[in-house]
Amino acid sequence: MGWFLNKVWKLTRGINFIGGVSLSFIMFLTVADIILRSFRKPIVGTFEIVAFSGAIVIGFSLPYTSWVKGHVYTDFLVMRFSEKTRNVFSLLTRCLGIGLFFILGIELIKYGLDLKKAGEVSPTLMMPFYPVAYALGICSFVQCLVLLCDILKISGGKHE
């Protein structure tokens, strides 16, 4: 079990790095566009590139954020339960999350296939949409792995 957790941890760190690079790229592009606009030479397609990159930032950072419990977690009600009840509640919510992200991943991959088949591209730069849909679908499957790891940790007696 330890090797599996380690592999998923490395995978989440790797894709989070990609999300971080994408976020840095967005900041650089935005600053460069603002500076160039003052010289009346804006970067064409900045809005589209930022939108694509923003989707990458969100999708690629979600599994890592889940792993490190960096999301907002309101547990004031759950903390009143016994430890066993909290664990059952955590297992149940992780299972529901796996189901949700698995369906989301499948639907994003299908959506990407539809976008590719239709030849959908962005209006200014003519960039295809389907790679982003595929990437977000894959990130949804990675999120399923992270939630599975949470289940393994809870079942193994490790507290959140």
- Which of 22, 7, 30 is closest to 152 using CA atoms? 7
E-strand spans in the chain? none
What is the pLDDT at residue 83?
Answer: 87
Average pLDDT estimate for 32-58 = 96
Helix residue spans in the chain (DSSP H): 2-38, 46-67, 83-118, 130-155
- Is pLDDT larger for residue 2 or for residue 143? 143
Average pLDDT estimate for 139-143 = 98
Average pLDDT estimate for 91-108 = 97
Confidence of residue 74 (pLDDT cuts 50, 70, 90): confident
Spell out the domain ranges in the chain: 2-155
Average pLDDT estimate for 60-77 = 88
Q: Is the pLDDT of residue 160 over 70?
A: no
E-strand spans in 28-103? none
Average pLDDT estimate for 9-26 = 97
pTM of this prediction? 0.91
